[in-house]
Structure 1
Amino acid sequence: MSNGTKRVYDARAKYPDRGKTTENSFSVLNVSIKNLQTALLLLSSTEEPVLQAVLSHLAEFARKQDLNIFELKQHLLLEILIDKELFINADSVIIRRFALFLITVILDNTELGEYDAEKTTQLLDVAFRFYLKEVDEFCIEYLTYIVNLCLRDPKVAQTIIENIEFLEKFKNIFVSSDNPDTVLNSIEALHKILQVQSAEEMLEFTTLPGFPVDRIVCELTNEFLEIRLASIKVLKTLLADTSEDSVFDGLQRCFFVLQQLVKAFCLDPKAPDALGIIEVLATALRSAKMTKLFFEQNLFDQMVENLKEIMDTLPSEVVCAIISIFAETAKYQKYLPRIHQADITNMFIKCLMKSKHEPAPFVIMGITRLIAHPEALRAIIGEYAHGAMLRLINLFRAPDVSIKTREQAAELIGSLLVHAFRITADQLIDLDICDALTTTLKQGLPELSIDLILSLLAIIESLADNDEYRAIMGQNVALTEQIAQLLMRSYAHSILVHNIFRCLCTIIDEEPVREILLANYIVSSMKRALKSLSNLVKTAVTNFILQTTRFNEFVDAYIDRGILQVLMLFQKHAFCVSTWGPAIESILSKCPTMKFCIRNYLGFTDITAGKDFYVSKRKFDDFCCFQAILRFDCSPLETVLVVNFDRPTELEADVVCVPSHCLHAADVSGDQKWSYCKRPADRKLPEYLEALNETLALNGLVENPDKIRRSIDFENVAKRSKIIAEAVNSVMGEDIKILDINTTEECSRHTVRCHLEHLRQVYHTNFIPIGEVRSGCQFERAILFKAFADQIGLPCTLQRSVDGRMLYNEVPLPLEMDKDVHCDQKTLKFMPWRMLRPTHIVDLMYNVGELYPMQSRQALQYLRLY
């Protein structure tokens, strides 16, 4: 044949020796192996028939009984298979299936803590690589199951998010798979991944392209119950995010999930997963967007119609669970008419009243939201006659009821008080709500939750808005005691302390409440609150002080028991509490003694009448020293002048007798007994005031009582000031030489000092009534002038000089300019006293009764500053 022609047969010169080939070949070896360890050794073989036979025997061995699986675990089959990488590269699909089957069997009988995270991670690493290259459906099923089991460890579940390549294939297989087991394990694995993510991580993960949310929604109607239950768990987690950026951002997807949920429920309301579907639907309807679609797309009507047909056949727990859906939709008031017209209100009432056990929290929550609709409110009020209010009271007071139900019951009562106060309050009073509140509060923390206590306090506040009901609660000693004791135990929760103080402010007008609070260490609780690190607590207690300084017993307690001291000492630590300063001024305004000691000034609104007013000759840098003198039985080094118009005779309780053995022999003569009194009587001061009023009457300067607090007679301020100054001079002018204001000579201070020394010997104490002082200079006269001015309604100040040796008085006189529209006496006379400004100093020593403009030469001369 030519060279271009292809030969069909070539002659061979040599032929192989077939006999020799037969001699060199290894014949088939059949060995009977009955030892597990020997079988495991064969897993190191490279012959696929051997591996297939061994793995088949191991699988058959594992299927026989669970004890065999534990024996395989003891022989470290799991570790061997991991080291062999589960035979990923085996050409035989049967080998891969057997290897994966054995792994799933072992893991299925393994507790979570038996293997450390490192071994689990190693297994997952092999499974991930296996998963990425495998195409066999059964292997994929086994691998999905293995991944699902390994994700039981949260640390492992957290790391899987970083494997982007695996997640991508995982999503694709899940979306396209028809294998029910693969679908089930994929959904469960996905749920475990979502559980270990934060809100931000979950949002980022679920909004990635290709996230299989639509497939999960579709599985709500799957024929297998396990898949439906798994889908319900994942959807509940996803629907908890109601933000606009969630995976359910699009309206189409929102409608799809609602439609599937309603369809799944309506297909079989008695199915085992019906309660789960209801729970997911209630979670979805927390979103306003979902609720809008639920009503606008007639899904609400579809569900209501279906319920009407089967309501009587449903178990009671399913009926009450269905209400959770309507409880969520009732949050939006515009849908309340449709809800009420569908007879949902009666469903709520029935579940509340007819339930043998305690109603679920969402039942009461739904009623709370429904009462915003007038017709629903009437229906609920109509149940009062059938014991609805008693039912609610019994719920919140019973310790064996779940805390959420108790919270909702108390909140519903508070809401009913807002929407139907009179009829609800009457019901509560008839049912002895005070006793129920006392019993409940007595349980204390931690038995009660913060929210429950806040709701109970809100009930008290609502009832206390009515004087009649507040008086009834005020008479209940036990209730006030429990509130006071609760306050002492609540300082770990600032919001609770804040609300307790606010509640006390509403009932403090009742005298029994004040007595009980003072007896139950309210002052100690307030001290602790003032030293708190929480600005909310400090604001609450200072507000309480502002509300309670109307009552003398509280003012005395604040001064005597150290509240004022804490307020003064901790001012620099309360710069964020706007009511701290006003609380100090509120106390001081009711106690001129302490205000003058601290501020060295009394203004127009600081009235000395009504209680004892003590002024020490000594100026104290620390008011606590003077407070200790007044509180304890000790005598000051300097004279303390006492002003009181209402005590002509001493009270026996105030007189202190000095035992004779405490005195020197020279001090005791015969049967004479020594006694002293820090609250001395003043017989002469009322007489002086009566004489002053007569003088004012003769001059036509007695003010009309109706106008004392409403207007100021500026035209007669100077005249009345002069008359008062002359009255003071006539009282304290004994042995006092009247000097000229221009002289540098001092007044008769020595005479005054001797006179006060004599009075101290007469009274056996340094506490001297101002009416007994017959010789006085600027200091003593200024005190008496202020006392008289406060009695007749003349605006007047009392101020101590910088060196503390002199007191002086100021009065307001408008310095009117011609045709000045901003300074008109007709307008100024109706100005509140707190808005007046001092303009003139009163001369009580030289030109008695003269008024000197402030900063004038005469004023500076009077103050000995010129």
Structure 2
Amino acid sequence: MSGGTKRIYDARSQYTDRTKTNENSFSPLTVIMKNLDTSLLLLSSKEEPVVQQVLNHLADFARKADQNIEDLKEQNLLELLVYKDLFINADSVIIRRFTLYLITVLMDRTQLGELQTEQTAQLLEVGFRFYLKEIDEFCIEYLTYIINLCLRDPKIAQNTLENVEFLEKFKIIFISSDNPDTVVNSIEAMHKILQIQSAKEMLEFTALPGFPIDRVICELTNDFLQIRLAAIKVLKILLADTSEESVFEPLHRCFFVLQQLVKAFCANPKAPDALGIIEVLATALRSEKMTKLFFEQNLFDQMVEHLNEDVDMLAPEVVCTIISIFAEAAKYQYYLARIHSARITEMFLKCLLKSKPEPSPFVIMGLNRMTVHPDALRTIVAGYEHGVLDQLVALVQAAEVSIKTREQAAEFIGNLLVSSFRTTADQLMVMNISEALAKTIEQGLPELSIDLILSVLAIIETLAQNDEHRKIMGEYTPLTEQIAQLLMGSYAHSILVHNIFRCLCTIVDEEPVREILMKNYIVSSIKRALKSVSNLVKTAVTNFILQTTRFNEFVDAYIDRGILEVLMNFQKHAFCVSTWGPAIESILAKCPTMKFCIRNHLGFTDVTAGKDFYVSKRKFEDFRCFQNILRQDCSPLETVLVVNFDRPSADERDLICVPLHCLHDIDIGGDQKWAYCKRPGDRKLPEFLEALNETLALNGLVENPDKIRRSIDFENVAKRSKIIAEAVNSVMSVDIKILDLNTTEECSRHTVRCHLENLRHVFHTNFIPLGEVQSGCQFERAVLFKCFADQIGLPCTLQRSVDGRMLYNEVPLPLELEKDIHCDKKTLKFMPWRMLRPTHIVDLMYNIGELYPMQSRQALQYLRLY
């Protein structure tokens, strides 16, 4: 070519000397190292062959002996591998596999407590990053295992829910993987995540798109036992949610899981995971939708058929576990007939009697639910002859039996008492159930659960409905004593205290029960209950007070030992307790003395007969002052009138002698001794009553014309009132001047005061028997009128005036209106006394026996208000 033209090819005249190049190159270097520390230094090398060779040696070293793994842990190999990110940054698959294998081995030999949460979180974070980009199947298998181990820490598992990218790939790999190890570790990791979630979090987690629930269900029939066991654990958690929003809301999925469970069980009822499948199936059948599918799709028949075929080959305890699914299904009454027809009731009874050392709780629960079906109930009752009831009672009182089984046994006995009372109750009484229940309650809290105690108390309540049984239980005093002791230690549980008081109400009719309660500080327990912050407890104890004021010993205890005081002083704290006020009135109704002191009023139903009735001339703002006088003081400042028709002379035990050295300024003649008495006898009062009855008899007014108890003789109310008023006047008119109603002059109060002063000297005390009072004004006469009226059955009140100085009486005398059916005397005479209303005031001072309409001028004049 001509000059300036570029040549495309030039012939070479010189070539590279390859021999010289090879001689100058770096030849391979082989170094033999037998020191572990030195070998670990090579992990920092950037040469993949070097790193691969070191990792290979470390893997062989770890396989030789467990102690070698401990040596690697001491060298902090785990932290080194995580820090260097070898299994993420290495391009070589072999390096990544070796690295993950070593981490797996080290983690497998590491307990949860050995690693700090920060270390676990760091390892998991590196694992997540690798998991998201790794495609090698072996690496993913190792990574799944490592993640599964890290999730043992609940804090780590909780944080996993926030890693959305990981969860998405986790679901994809789990659904598509054919590697058994990857599958089992994925399911176990899912189980750990579900365990730490609340119900709401679990619902959100399982509602994520593509949640692999169907894959988990499929694995129930996997050939590998470990996978089946892992799937069972996950399903047991998920099936516990029976809400409509759960992952098992679609019917096809419900049927699929039931079908898989039945298929897995029927394939091999003796397999190691068979009992686990039964537990999951029992959990599933807690849902009515699942139970309906179970019966309608004939899965129940399939289970029963296989169970009957294999029942002879299976151990009794295995059979008893299997029938737990029928115990759950028995919750729905619609299927009880099919369950009983399949002879499941007999299976339950057999398991109850033969299970050693104790039957499972669901065996008794199944029997309890079967009692709704009549044929099943007859079968159970027929089993009494074989010791069914004996076994149940033994379970209830056996401390070594699990508390859940004891609870179910006690509940079952209570249910049998309701369903078949006569047969069950008679059998229990023959077995001396009182002793068994006493021994059970004696174990106390916390040995017993609250549910067990409540069931035991329910048994006592049900048996006590029969008078004969209640009497037998009442005579067995240790039972009552244990209940009282239990009450004192149960105030931390309001529901328990409530039920104990309710139980005591059913047996308190028996006298031995009342005696034992008094000896076991029932009053102290009542005080504590009244001061409780729980309205449930306060309602229960006030109801108990209402029930027990029928008995004088309880009424006396409530008044003398401070119960009434607590009720009165804590009324403002009991505005939500409807029985608080009635409890006060119930006590006061049985003690007219305290009622009149507190209320300053006695109504038609407040009867003064039957016990001492004390009325003080003084009006007390605080009833406790009067209580102290009755308890301790012998000489109150004001006279106290004592009414009693049944004690002609004082009891010697009530007399209190005054020592002679205390009588300095008193002239004592002869051997006269001074004694005073707060419960003096009254010889004259019965005589006055007898004279009154004779007068009424002469006038034909002793009994009501219809001779009906508690009926009201309105026709003769005025006549009887006048006769009683005249009898009162004849007793208390000594030195009393009868004045005109219209006069402003006061009655002879001074005469009465002097007369009472004289009586105080005679009796050496201010407690004066009413029959000894011969001079009286409105105050004394009103008391005697009320007492006479109560004795002969005339409805009458006793009312204290506002200033406290005057008492007066009111009687009911209907103001009949013409053609008013509501005021028909024929109807009103049968009206209960508590519904009567006072209409007239009785004049005892001026126009003896006259009745003045209330608010009339005469009534106001009588009360000195006009």
TM range (shorter): over 0.9
Distance across 1 between alignment mates of 2:864 and 2:663: 43
Q: CA deviation at 1:655?
A: 1.5
Distance across 2 between alignment mates of 1:427 and 1:688: 58
Q: CA deviation at 1:11?
A: 4.0
Q: CA deviation at 1:704?
A: 2.8
Q: CA deviation at 1:788?
A: 0.9
Partners of 1:812 and 1:837 within 8 A in 2: yes
Which residue number corresponds to residue 722 of structure 1? 722
Matched, 1:103 2:103: yes
Q: CA deviation at 1:35?
A: 2.1
The root-mean-square deviation of aligned C-alpha atoms, in Å, is 1.8
Which residue number corresponds to residue 407 of structure 2? 407
Aligned with 1:259: secondary structure?
helix
Distance 1:80 1:728, change over 3 A: same
Aligned with 2:113: secondary structure?
coil
Distance 1:123 1:753, change over 3 A: same
The code of the aligned residue for 1:785 comes to F
Q: CA deviation at 1:284?
A: 0.8
Partners of 2:317 and 2:355 within 8 A in 1: no
Which residue number corresponds to residue 786 of structure 1? 786
Distance across 2 between alignment mates of 1:709 and 1:162: 82
Distance across 1 between alignment mates of 2:368 and 2:8: 101
Distance 1:126 1:667, change over 3 A: farther
Which residue number corresponds to residue 495 of structure 1? 495
Distance 1:68 1:691, change over 3 A: same
Which residue number corresponds to residue 200 of structure 2? 200
Range that drifts further, 202-211 or 541-550:
202-211
Matched, 1:550 2:543: no
Range that drifts further, 540-549 or 628-637:
628-637
Range that drifts further, 833-842 or 270-279:
833-842
Matched, 1:676 2:686: no
Aligned with 1:312: secondary structure?
coil
Q: Deviations over 1:183-242 (max 9, x none)?
A: 010011111111111111111111222111111111111111111111111111111111
Partners of 2:634 and 2:766 within 8 A in 1: no
Aligned with 2:642: secondary structure?
strand
Distance across 1 between alignment mates of 2:801 and 2:431: 63
Q: CA deviation at 1:16?
A: 7.7
Partners of 1:396 and 1:410 within 8 A in 2: yes
Matched, 1:691 2:713: no
The code of the aligned residue for 1:729 comes to N
Q: CA deviation at 1:39?
A: 1.9
The code of the aligned residue for 1:43 comes to L
The code of the aligned residue for 2:170 comes to F
Equivalent residues in 2 for 1:215-364 (5 A)?
215-364=215-364
Aligned with 1:841: secondary structure?
strand
Q: CA deviation at 1:784?
A: 0.7
| TM-score, structure 1 normalization | 0.97
Distance across 1 between alignment mates of 2:496 and 2:11: 107
Which residue number corresponds to residue 775 of structure 2? 775
| TM-score, structure 2 normalization | 0.97
The code of the aligned residue for 2:838 comes to P
Range that drifts further, 102-111 or 354-363:
354-363
Which residue number corresponds to residue 78 of structure 1? 78
Partners of 1:796 and 1:809 within 8 A in 2: yes
Which residue number corresponds to residue 382 of structure 1? 382
Q: Deviations over 1:451-508 (max 9, x none)?
A: 1111111111111100111111111111111111111111111111111111111111
Which residue number corresponds to residue 90 of structure 1? 90
The code of the aligned residue for 2:742 comes to N
Which residue number corresponds to residue 804 of structure 1? 804
Partners of 1:660 and 1:668 within 8 A in 2: no
Distance across 2 between alignment mates of 1:14 and 1:756: 161
Partners of 1:619 and 1:804 within 8 A in 2: yes
Q: Deviations over 1:664-693 (max 9, x none)?
A: 252422200111111111111111111112
The code of the aligned residue for 2:158 comes to Q
Q: CA deviation at 1:247?
A: 1.0
Matched, 1:588 2:588: yes
Aligned with 2:331: secondary structure?
coil
Partners of 2:712 and 2:830 within 8 A in 1: yes
Q: Deviations over 1:141-186 (max 9, x none)?
A: 1110010000111111111011111011101111111000000100
Partners of 1:595 and 1:601 within 8 A in 2: yes
Alignment gaps of 5+ in structure 1: 2-6
Distance across 2 between alignment mates of 1:119 and 1:160: 15
The code of the aligned residue for 2:373 comes to H
Which residue number corresponds to residue 137 of structure 2? 137
Q: CA deviation at 1:26?
A: 3.8
Q: Deviations over 1:737-774 (max 9, x none)?
A: 11222222211111111000101111111111111101
Partners of 1:86 and 1:100 within 8 A in 2: no
Q: CA deviation at 1:657?
A: 1.7
Distance across 2 between alignment mates of 1:302 and 1:18: 87
Equivalent residues in 2 for 1:355-754 (5 A)?
355-704=355-704, 707=707, 709-754=709-754
Matched, 1:182 2:176: no
Identical counterparts, % of pairs: 79
Aligned with 2:52: secondary structure?
helix
Distance across 2 between alignment mates of 1:416 and 1:8: 116
Q: CA deviation at 1:34?
A: 2.2
Partners of 2:220 and 2:228 within 8 A in 1: yes
Q: CA deviation at 1:832?
A: 1.2
Alignment gaps of 5+ in structure 2: none
Distance across 1 between alignment mates of 2:12 and 2:697: 162
Q: CA deviation at 1:544?
A: 0.4
Partners of 2:710 and 2:793 within 8 A in 1: no
The code of the aligned residue for 1:860 comes to L
Distance across 1 between alignment mates of 2:353 and 2:35: 70
Which residue number corresponds to residue 52 of structure 2? 52
Which residue number corresponds to residue 158 of structure 1? 158
Which residue number corresponds to residue 4 of structure 1? none
Q: Deviations over 1:48-93 (max 9, x none)?
A: 2222112111111111111221221121111111111233122111
Distance across 1 between alignment mates of 2:483 and 2:380: 30
Distance across 1 between alignment mates of 2:839 and 2:666: 54
Aligned with 2:197: secondary structure?
coil
Distance across 2 between alignment mates of 1:443 and 1:341: 41
The code of the aligned residue for 1:513 comes to V
Distance across 2 between alignment mates of 1:524 and 1:9: 122
The code of the aligned residue for 1:523 comes to V
Aligned with 1:799: secondary structure?
strand
Partners of 2:158 and 2:196 within 8 A in 1: yes
Distance across 1 between alignment mates of 2:87 and 2:744: 117
Aligned with 1:223: secondary structure?
coil
Equivalent residues in 2 for 1:818-837 (5 A)?
818-837=818-837
Distance 1:59 1:14, change over 3 A: farther
Q: CA deviation at 1:18?
A: 5.4
Which residue number corresponds to residue 842 of structure 1? 842
Distance 1:10 1:499, change over 3 A: farther
Partners of 2:704 and 2:711 within 8 A in 1: no
Distance across 1 between alignment mates of 2:58 and 2:723: 121
Which residue number corresponds to residue 126 of structure 1? 126
Partners of 1:86 and 1:126 within 8 A in 2: no
Distance 1:8 1:248, change over 3 A: farther
The code of the aligned residue for 2:288 comes to A
Aligned with 1:693: secondary structure?
helix
Q: CA deviation at 1:709?
A: 4.0
Distance across 2 between alignment mates of 1:500 and 1:77: 64
Distance 1:436 1:216, change over 3 A: same
Distance across 2 between alignment mates of 1:131 and 1:108: 19
Range that drifts further, 812-821 or 226-235:
812-821
Distance across 1 between alignment mates of 2:132 and 2:667: 112
Distance across 2 between alignment mates of 1:685 and 1:138: 110
Q: CA deviation at 1:41?
A: 1.7
Distance across 2 between alignment mates of 1:652 and 1:475: 34
Which residue number corresponds to residue 167 of structure 1? 167
Q: CA deviation at 1:13?
A: 7.3
Distance across 2 between alignment mates of 1:220 and 1:635: 91
Distance across 1 between alignment mates of 2:279 and 2:721: 81
Distance across 1 between alignment mates of 2:484 and 2:705: 42
Distance across 1 between alignment mates of 2:13 and 2:621: 131
Range that drifts further, 46-55 or 505-514:
46-55
